[in-house]
């Protein structure tokens, strides 16, 4: 389904969602094997907790809250946009070239007491986004594209993430 998302950083954007258990979720099955955005719930784990909306109109009134849930809308739209770039410009079907699901986890936090994780990263399988402590949630388009770029490098560069090759990867 096509939804409208009031993202945190990129204004109103069109996103693709799916209905699961009667609610719209940030799950897109139209690109490769999926673009899925989950809620880590301020933990250092990767649960399959969906972000949901009742009418697929993801408004600021609903999602620009103390938890910064509208950041998930940026991560989802950013992953969709980055997937679209790779397929259109490089004929590459997702980061692995074979349609791998792009799974993003928002509200990741490995800080004591949920202080806010000041980073985003590709862990070798999924995109991970912290809420930030010294700055705001790290889900803007450039961050999403950067992390997915690390995934592409994993499947194309055959580089160890250390020394010069690690610097090139960044």
Whole-model pTM: value is 0.95
Q: What pLDDT, in 10s, does the model give residues 123-169? A: 999 999 999 999 999 999 999 999 999 999 999 988 777 788 777 77
Q: Which residues of the chain have pLDDT under 50?
A: none
Gap between the Cα atoms of 37 and 27, Å rounded: 6
Gap between the Cα atoms of 81 and 101, Å rounded: 14
Residue 1 is predicted with a pLDDT of 97
Residue 51 is predicted with a pLDDT of 98
Gap between the Cα atoms of 76 and 3, Å rounded: 12
User: Where are any strands of DSSP class E within 85-158?
Assistant: 102-108, 120-122, 127-130
In this structure, are residues 140 and 7 in contact, taking their beta carbons and an 8 Å threshold? no
Gap between the Cα atoms of 109 and 43, Å rounded: 5
Gap between the Cα atoms of 34 and 119, Å rounded: 24
């Amino acid at each position: 389904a096509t939804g409208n998302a009031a993202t945190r950083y990129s204004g109103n954007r069109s996103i693709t969602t799916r209905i699961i258990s009667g609610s719209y979720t940030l799950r897109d099955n139209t690109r490769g094997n999926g673009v899925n955005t989950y809620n880590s719930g301020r933990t250092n784990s990767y649960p399959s907790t969906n972000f949901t909306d009742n009418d697929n109109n993801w408004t600021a009134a609903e999602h620009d809250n103390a938890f910064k849930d509208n950041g998930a809308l940026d991560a989802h739209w950013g992953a969709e946009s980055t997937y679209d770039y790779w397929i259109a410009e490089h004929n590459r079907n997702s980061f692995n070239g074979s349609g791998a699901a792009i799974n993003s986890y928002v509200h990741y936090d490995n800080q004591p007491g949920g202080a806010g994780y000041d980073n985003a990263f590709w862990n070798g399988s999924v995109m991970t986004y912290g809420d930030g402590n010294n700055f705001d949630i790290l889900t803007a388009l450039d961050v999403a594209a950067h992390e997915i770029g690390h995934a592409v490098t994993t499947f194309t560069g055959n580089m160890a993430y250390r020394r010069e090759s690690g610097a090139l990867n960044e």
